[in-house]
Structure 1
Amino acid sequence: LIVNRRAYAAIVLVIVLLVYSIAPAKLDRHRLDPQAYVRIVQPNLPEEAKPTADYAEANFQALARLSGKPNPSHPRLILWPEGAIRFPVEDGYPRYVYDLMGSAQTARIRMASLLGDHDAILTGTQGMYFDKRTENMTAATNSIAVIGPDAQLHGRYDKAHLVPYGEYLPMRPVLEAIGLSRLVPGDVDFIPGPGPRTMAIPGFGKVGMLICYEVIFSGHVIDPGNRPDFIFNPSNDAWFGTLGPPAHLAQARLRAIEEGLSIVRATPTGISAIIDPDGTIRQSIPMGRAGAIEGPVMRGAPTLFSHLGNSMALIVSAILLICAIAIRRLAR
């Protein structure tokens, strides 16, 4: 009887430790940087608007207005949504690109004019690739650009998990030959980046980058060799009706809990949010509303899942199976 009681106690202890290990990360209520804030901008311009020059300008004006004024008391990391700007921010493209869409330097100067000396902007943008001989566009990237107060491009992240039939046409040569290339708008595919990336943003720490639905891939949302301090997830959920945005936000909350990291989301039409490492939505902007939210990013801590990844499901299942077998034998 004493042996059975000790065995039961050991099993209960294992289960308690297991539950504790997978519980949401405890928050260190100290901010990552007491002086550093993120400011998330949601312009709420309809996605069905034609991407004309007038629309691109109206979109920029909305983003600029909601980005607010520099605050000498604390630096601001201003976060704009996926695809926020409709003009190039990189040099080196064929001249006709800038003739049609405007100067990249002018675009960066306009963005830098919104910043204080220690601010930065992370914005959704598009990278482009061209044939050197013909100057025809051959590929594009769905990207995040880092713009500093010096009007320079300080880094770019390219989306790795692309949406088939939305961002690229699988087996394009075959489908084009049978007339199905119209399944994807345009005749240029997006190409993937190398995967999760952590970028050091001076004054704001290390930022993990995930674009749109990249945040749904459990166990594949950070660079394991360079863990970020928090994750930036710009997205355009306007395509997904009224049911998609809440579901997408829920997935982001799960990733925050799994990794023990804050996630900040910027979307054009909602739901933009600051999510704490325990999954709590600290601030948000609802769907269909223009606005901005500003606040510090909370510090988390690595979780057991962040070390084990999706193999944790197998480990937990094995432990529970062993406990179940042990309990059954003890009950005989």
Structure 2
Amino acid sequence: VQQIGVMVRIVQPNIAQKDKWRPENRKWIYRRYLDMTSRKSTGRKPDVVIWPESALPALLEEQEGTRRQIAQAAGSGTSIVLGSLRRSKGGATHNSVLVLGKEGRIVGRYDKQKLVPFGEYLPLAGILEPLGLRKLVAMPAGFQAGNGPQTMHVADLPSFAPLICYEAIFPRSLIDRNDRPNWLLNVTNDAWFGFSAGPYQHLAQARMRAIEEGLPLIRAANTGISAIVDPLGQVMHSLGLGQRGTIDAILPAPIPPTPYGRYGDGMFFILIFLAIFGRVRTFLRIPIELRKNIAVL
């Protein structure tokens, strides 16, 4: 598998869901991320450091000093891509990916477009809210969906398509067909699933997206399973469920668009049509007397 030449560091902090949003835990969570980001590499210095979904219990877009400290921990010339909650000018809350450049300046952002029903928003809110079902939504007012899919272009990094959490399970809707990225990024927090089959299934579904599109996949998961997957779906590097650590590795290169990447689900309808056409054509070649016998059977 060819490589692009970009050195990636994935940070997997392994913070339990029960600890993540407690105010008294903010300082040590923040310190853990900084320590793992600034950890000296045994080889080449990372070009980009990636944190998982909603990494810190904070609105980073509104905290310039915190962003500057994160950039200092990463070091000069290293970009940071991380999951963060974000509040728009209208007051809506988004589950987002932010890209931090020099001095922690935000040089790119993406808002999750496919929200989790009953987790990030309440379907049929006008009907269900009076019944007291608002409590099922993680945020008091729920999240607002962003626009997508999106290809992010950031200086010194190959273009990439961000996927937040379960967006990676949806084929065909994950990349901009008019602006093919060089790699896929999936940031997620699978701590909700604990030590169950969920994180393994989620990784398997994300790998399928890499195979379908012929694009390498970088996956940063809070409690695992973080991984670097090549465009053929092979897991090149990974950190297991419930482990804390980092992955430092070179980003694999993409391959040319696959048939599925070009034609999507339409190719399956074509195959079905060809199968039916072949069957009918074979049947019509059978002598009429034999056809009657087949019909009787």
If the length of structure 2 is used for normalisation, what is the TM-score?
Answer: 0.89
Residue 331 to residue 239, structure 1, CA distance change in 2 (3 Å): farther
Q: What is the CA-CA distance between 1:128 and the residue it aligns to?
A: 1.3
Structure 1 moving runs of 4+ over 3 Å: 69-75, 323-332
Tell me the distance in 2 between the aligned counterparts of 1:327 and 1:84.
59
Which position in structure 2 is the counterpart of 1:218?
171
Residue 192, structure 1, aligned to residue 164, structure 2:
no
Mapping 1:166-177, distance limit 5 Å: 166-177=119-130
Residue 272, structure 1, aligned to residue 226, structure 2:
yes
Q: Structure 2: any 5+ residue segments left out of the alignment?
A: 288-297
Residue 179, structure 1, aligned to residue 132, structure 2:
yes
Residue 140, structure 1, aligned to residue 85, structure 2:
no
Residue 89, structure 1, aligned to residue 89, structure 2:
no
Residue 313, structure 1, aligned to residue 268, structure 2:
yes
Contact 1:75 1:116 in 2 (8 A): no
Q: CA RMSD in A?
A: 2.0
If the length of structure 1 is used for normalisation, what is the TM-score?
Answer: 0.80
Tell me the distance in 1 between the aligned counterparts of 2:266 and 2:51.
34
Out of 80, 100, 103, the residue aligned to residue 121 of structure 1 is 80
Q: What is the CA-CA distance between 1:165 and the residue it aligns to?
A: 0.6
Q: Which amino acid aligns with 1:250?
A: A
Q: What is the CA-CA distance between 1:273 and the residue it aligns to?
A: 0.4
Q: Which amino acid aligns with 2:261?
A: S
Residue 325 to residue 297, structure 1, CA distance change in 2 (3 Å): farther
Contact 1:264 1:275 in 2 (8 A): yes
Alignment length, in residue pairs?
284
Which position in structure 1 is the counterpart of 2:238?
284
Q: Which range moves more in the overlay, 188-197 or 112-121? A: 112-121
Q: What is the CA-CA distance between 1:230 and the residue it aligns to?
A: 0.0
Higher relative contact order (CA 8 A, sep 6+): 1
Mapping 1:1-332, distance limit 5 Å: 29-32=1-4, 34=5, 36-49=6-19, 51-67=21-37, 68-69=39-40, 73-91=44-62, 104-129=63-88, 138-241=91-194, 242-299=196-253, 300-328=255-283
SS at match of 1:127: strand
Give a deviation string over 1:148-200, Cα, whole Å, max 9, x none.
13220111100000011100112223322232222224421100011111111
Tell me the distance in 1 between the aligned counterparts of 2:249 and 2:150.
24
Contact 2:120 2:139 in 1 (8 A): no
Q: What is the CA-CA distance between 1:70 and the residue it aligns to?
A: 7.1
Q: Which amino acid aligns with 1:84?
A: A
Give a deviation string over 1:64-105, Cα, whole Å, max 9, x none.
2222237995542111000101222224xxxxxxxxxxxx11
Residue 327 to residue 123, structure 1, CA distance change in 2 (3 Å): same
SS at match of 1:296: strand
Q: Which range moves more in the overlay, 204-213 or 44-53? A: 44-53
Q: Structure 1: any 5+ residue segments left out of the alignment?
A: 1-28, 92-103, 132-137
Residue 38 to residue 73, structure 1, CA distance change in 2 (3 Å): closer
Tell me the distance in 1 between the aligned counterparts of 2:232 and 2:43.
31
Q: What is the CA-CA distance between 1:321 and the residue it aligns to?
A: 2.6
Q: Percent identity?
A: 36
Residue 321 to residue 72, structure 1, CA distance change in 2 (3 Å): same
